[in-house]
Amino acid sequence: MRLVSFGPAGSELPGALVQDSVLPLGRVLADIGFERTDSLRRVLPFLDLLGAGIDAALQRGDELIPVAGTRLGPPVVDPPNLFSVGANYFAHLVEHGVDPAKMPTLPVIFVKPSSALSGPTDPIVRPIECEQFDYEAELAIVIGKGGRRIAADRAGEHIAGYMIANDVSARDLGEGESKKLGMAPLFQVMRMKGWDTFLPTGPWLLTADEAGSYEDIRIQTWVNDEPRQDTYAKEMATDPFQLVEWLSATTTLRPGDIITTGTPAGAAVGMASPRWLTAGDAVRIEMTGLGSMNTPVLDEQAV
């Protein structure tokens, strides 16, 4: 299944993508025991029921809405948590100047605020304070079945599916006073990663049963049609199942939690002469089976 949200920002409704149309899921949710107004998050632990309900809706001829001209929002509009993984592709770390002989062995995870979430065609907005505006294409995991201390060999049972994400970064706002005072804990992760619009996702959530092996997902990024990133998710240092194990050892995962899994090489920060995003640019990210996400860049003053 390809699951979406559709409609105006802040008022999105759950749907399923059927070829080039959206099947609204209100009646389907009611038929399988949920409220018509429930969000997609509520039904993620019950994807078998949802799939059967969608099949029944198509057989009875429920209304389909052409996706052309319809705004798609973030597939999961109300995730309990937005977890982000850093330093998960060694080639990206080398871009940052990390010694290849001193690569990290433990996942690095931080949290983004829910206000960072946006849809697959919504603008990403460069803050007034930012000069070094950057993109990071990332494969996102969506949790379907919650739990604590989930073993890696059982993690697949807890993953509802995958989608595209962009972990947008204000590179020049991260350092803060950490370098000046020689104190790493003063690094401003929230200041670099947590602004509004800094986590576009979509266009759909592809359920795990149809996604196949995450290793075969090709991750590609273009800025204004110029290729920037191109790798396969199998290059991750810590795979999605290990990430679920590591994260769930600390906190109870909940249905609808989103985990972005790190970005490969090719971000602007790794260039000898970085080509930062500026107003008028467009960032296009494609991943195998997960569609294409195309987000324009705006300056905050213009919003």
Q: What are phi and psi of 255, to 5 degrees?
A: -55, 130
The CATH number covering residue 221 comes to 3.90.850.10
Whether 182 and 56 map to the same domain: the answer is no
User: In angstroms, rounded to a whole number, what is the distance separating the alpha carbons of residues 143 and 251?
Assistant: 13
Tell me if 73 is assigned to some domain: no
The predicted pLDDT at position 100 comes to 64
Q: Provide the pLDDT confidence category of residue 66 given band limits of 50, 70 and 90.
A: very high
Whether 166 and 239 map to the same domain: the answer is yes
User: In angstroms, rounded to a whole number, what is the distance separating the alpha carbons of residues 71 and 7?
Assistant: 5
Which 3 state secondary structure label does DSSP give 108?
A: strand
pTM of this structure: 0.94
By percentage, how much of the chain surpasses pLDDT 70?
95
Whether 43 and 99 map to the same domain: the answer is no
The predicted pLDDT at position 240 comes to 97
Question: CA distances (Å), 38 to each of 15, 55, 99, 289, in order?
Answer: 11, 19, 48, 26
Determine what percent of the chain falls in helix, strand and coil, rounding each to the nearest 5. 30, 30, 40
Whether 298 and 225 map to the same domain: the answer is yes
Type of residue found at 248: S
Which 3 state secondary structure label does DSSP give 69?
A: coil
Residue 51 tokens read as 């799939």
Of 85-89, 101-105, 250-254, give the range with the top mean pLDDT.
250-254
Name the β-bridge partners of 153.
none
The predicted pLDDT at position 120 comes to 98
DSSP string, 110-160: EEE-GGGEE-TTSPEEE-TT-S-EE--EEEEEEESS-BSS--GGGGGGGEE
Whether 132 and 269 map to the same domain: the answer is yes
CB neighbours (10 Å) of residue 301? 10
CB-based contact 82:113 (threshold 8 Å): yes
CB-based contact 23:58 (threshold 8 Å): yes
Question: CA distances (Å), 266 to each of 137, 159, 241, 279, in order?
Answer: 9, 28, 25, 20
Tell me if 75 is assigned to some domain: no
Whether 86 and 170 map to the same domain: the answer is yes
Q: Domain count for the chain, please give it.
A: 2
Whether 90 and 211 map to the same domain: the answer is yes
Tell me if 226 is assigned to some domain: yes
Whether 48 and 144 map to the same domain: the answer is no
Tell me if 92 is assigned to some domain: yes
Residue 300: is its pLDDT beyond 90?
yes
Exposure of 233 in the CB half-sphere (CA atoms within 13 A): 28
The predicted pLDDT at position 267 comes to 96
Tell me if 218 is assigned to some domain: yes
Whether 229 and 112 map to the same domain: the answer is yes
Tell me if 74 is assigned to some domain: no
User: In angstroms, rounded to a whole number, what is the distance separating the alpha carbons of residues 196 and 80?
Assistant: 17
Whether 9 and 49 map to the same domain: the answer is yes
HEC profile for 198-236? Answer: CEEEEEEEEEHHHHCCHHHCEEEEEECCEEEEEEEHHHC
Q: What is the mean pLDDT of the chain?
A: 94
For the segment 283-303, the average pLDDT, to the nearest whole number, is 94
Whether 189 and 247 map to the same domain: the answer is yes
Tell me if 77 is assigned to some domain: no
Tell me if 132 is assigned to some domain: yes
Q: Residue 40 sits in which domain range?
A: 2-66
Considering only CA atoms, which of 263, 141, 283 is closest in space to residue 221?
283
Question: CA distances (Å), 79 to each of 119, 186, 257, 272, in order?
Answer: 13, 28, 5, 37
Residue 67 tokens read as 């996706």
Whether 184 and 230 map to the same domain: the answer is yes
